Structure 1
Amino acid sequence: MCSKRFYHIGFEQADLGAKPPTLALLSGDPERASLIAQTHLQNVKLLSDNRGLNSYLGYLANGCPILSATSGMGAPSLSIVVNELVQVGIRQIIRVGTCGSIQPHVAVGSIVISNAALCRQGAANDIAPLEYPAAADPFLTVALVKAARKLGCEHHLGIAASVDTFYEGQERMDSANPYLMRSLQGITAEYRHLNILNYEMECGTLFKMAGVYQFAAAAVCAVVAQRTVSENIIFPKKDIAIENAIATAISAAETLLSAKFEL
């Protein structure tokens, strides 16, 4: 058993109790991690709020233990948190995030379940070479799709573009930087023609880490912007989309963990 408190996540394996969780729901936003814990889990315990990386131990309605944790924004922060979560015994991670659609049919308010990612992320390059596939676990992904169908959530399954920056990397022109490098001009249209569904900032590195570290990873993201129309976040539909993404992840986790504990 690991017997050290980890520097970034702020807790150790012993803090997880006699029946430790093996599945974590991972959110970039600490408020989302708190929302998941406080509204969807039972007997919640705050493990740590070190560095704003809030982590909560709780239980699903079926009694299975689960972690709701914060990865921070972007792949470098996520890579640290995931490394330490794996060291305390987490073997399945579902990212519950937000994203911007780059396809006309992927509407704000819906959710995107990523089966793979185009990975344009520096952190991932320290973990595996560029050619290494960034693919989600098929069993976790199917569980998310089934959960979305059961809940009646508008959902889309496909490839995400994982990039390191919110502004330049996603070809946003409305920013403090008046100059966009030529290599990024037109990148959104190119990705659209490649049938990529959305922009986000963590999946590619998470999926590559899963392959190298040998854990299972999947992702469900709330669509909060429609980049075929505007660069702006559509706030009136943001909360609905996030709640649908959370509900889908919780339902999938209940199915996955129930099956595990029945074996």
Structure 2
Amino acid sequence: MPGDSEDPNDEVQYHVELAAGDVADAVLLPGNPERLDKITPLWDDHDEVAYHREYRTATGTYEGTPISVTSTGIGSPSAAIAFEELARVGAETFIRVGSCGALQANMDPGDLVITRGAVRQEGTSDEYVREDYPAVASHEVVSALIAAAERLGHDYHVGLTMSSDSFYAGQGRPGFDGFEAAGSDELVEELKNANVANIEMEAAAICTLANIYGLRAGAVCSVFANRETGEFLTEGESTAAETASLAVHLLAQMDRKKAEAGVDEWHAGMSLE
């Protein structure tokens, strides 16, 4: 074991530049740092607490519930770094908020996809656990995201997500100068036939790490492209952010209900206000 020599600072995390007390228990995880400017205006209040590399963080409240957001950059390697360091400073619930490509014809640009579980076609989670370990979203997070989408009146779908390490070859798109990776021409069709809902690049690693560490995680993404119909429209970023923010508020209610009942898991028999 390398001991503590890999951590140059015992208090402030090396990449995200955060310390204990900087973030709430629940953190939204968009990829693009600029998405914070679309997320935080939805809240009651917020303060930007750190910005280092691709990791930009703000903390505030939404309907009185403490909430934070940290951008992760593109892909599972950088998302896993954010997850690790946020967990070290006290975060316990993680919700990926992003965009995706839909695989089913009934999913329109602007719709939401709520991840129930993920196909681990990224390599980061393989560094943590054997390849047949499932990337499963927390049932509490999934329930809260569904309830939030219903309350807000947003069109949504719930299903399986495939997370890739590559935007081009790994998602069945041609690379530079028309390059096609082996099997890329069959990838989308195979995933569609297996009833996979969407493709993105971070959910599998985030859900895997959450399960390993006994934390909560899930994902909600806006459909930008439909790989079956060929439609493309960059809409719904604020829809996903609003849904995730309300979900954090509902999760706080779930936690209070659990504490009152003296149970560890929220279930459908416990009503939410």
TM-score above 0.5 = yes
Q: Structure 1 counterpart of 2:192, which letter? A: R
- Where does the alignment leave 5 or more consecutive residues of structure 2 unmatched? 1-8, 260-273
Q: Structure 1 counterpart of 2:134, which letter? A: P
Equivalent in the alignment of 1:102: 103
Runs of 4+ deviating beyond 4 Å: none
Q: Structure 2 counterpart of 1:75, which letter? A: S
Deviation at 1:207, TM superposition (A): 0.9
Q: Structure 1 counterpart of 2:145, which letter? A: L
User: 2: CA distance between counterparts of 1:251 and 1:42?
Assistant: 12
> 1:191 aligns to what SS in structure 2?
helix
- The one of 1, 20, 23 aligned to 1:13: 20
Deviation at 1:3, TM superposition (A): 5.5
Larger deviation: 130-139 or 241-250? 241-250
User: 2: CA distance between counterparts of 1:209 and 1:32?
Assistant: 23
Q: Structure 2 counterpart of 1:31, which letter? A: E
- The one of 42, 46, 54 aligned to 2:48: 46
CA contact (8 A) 1:26 1:33 kept: no
Aligned positions of 1:30-45 closer than 5 A = 30-37=33-40, 39-45=41-47
Aligned positions of 1:36-75 closer than 5 A = 36-37=39-40, 39-61=41-63, 63-75=64-76
CA contact (8 A) 1:171 1:186 kept: yes
Deviation at 1:129, TM superposition (A): 1.1
Deviation at 1:257, TM superposition (A): 1.4
Larger deviation: 93-102 or 52-61? 52-61
> 1:71 aligns to what SS in structure 2?
coil
User: 2: CA distance between counterparts of 1:114 and 1:64?
Assistant: 23
Equivalent in the alignment of 2:147: 146
User: 2: CA distance between counterparts of 1:146 and 1:261?
Assistant: 17
> 1:13 aligns to what SS in structure 2?
coil
Q: Structure 2 counterpart of 1:64, which letter? A: T
CA contact (8 A) 2:24 2:67 kept: yes
> 2:245 aligns to what SS in structure 1?
helix
User: 2: CA distance between counterparts of 1:43 and 1:195?
Assistant: 40
Deviation at 1:21, TM superposition (A): 1.5
Q: Structure 2 counterpart of 1:138, which letter? A: H
Do structure 1's residue 243 and structure 2's residue 238 form an aligned pair?
yes
> 1:118 aligns to what SS in structure 2?
strand
Equivalent in the alignment of 1:22: 25
Aligned positions of 1:1-263 closer than 5 A = 4-14=11-21, 16=22, 21-37=24-40, 39-61=41-63, 63-173=64-174, 175-230=175-230, 233-235=232-234, 238=235, 241-261=236-256, 263=259
Q: TM-score, normalised by structure 1?
A: 0.90
> 1:182 aligns to what SS in structure 2?
coil
Larger deviation: 41-50 or 96-105? 41-50
Aligned-pair Cα RMSD in Å: 1.6
Q: Structure 2 counterpart of 1:7, which letter? A: Y
Higher helix share: 1
CA gap of 1:3–1:44, structure 2 versus 1, over 3 A, is farther
Deviation at 1:252, TM superposition (A): 1.1
User: 2: CA distance between counterparts of 1:98 and 1:36?
Assistant: 14
Deviation at 1:48, TM superposition (A): 0.7
Give aligned pairs, total.
Answer: 250
Deviation at 1:183, TM superposition (A): 2.6
User: 2: CA distance between counterparts of 1:170 and 1:121?
Assistant: 11
- Where does the alignment leave 5 or more consecutive residues of structure 1 unmatched? none
User: 2: CA distance between counterparts of 1:53 and 1:79?
Assistant: 12
Once the two structures are superposed, residues 102-150 of structure 1 have per-residue CA deviations (whole angstroms, 9 ceiling, x without a partner) of 1101111100001001111111110111100000000110111111111
User: 2: CA distance between counterparts of 1:192 and 1:59?
Assistant: 38
Deviation at 1:160, TM superposition (A): 0.7
Once the two structures are superposed, residues 26-85 of structure 1 have per-residue CA deviations (whole angstroms, 9 ceiling, x without a partner) of 100111123212x12233111111113110011112x22111111111000001000000
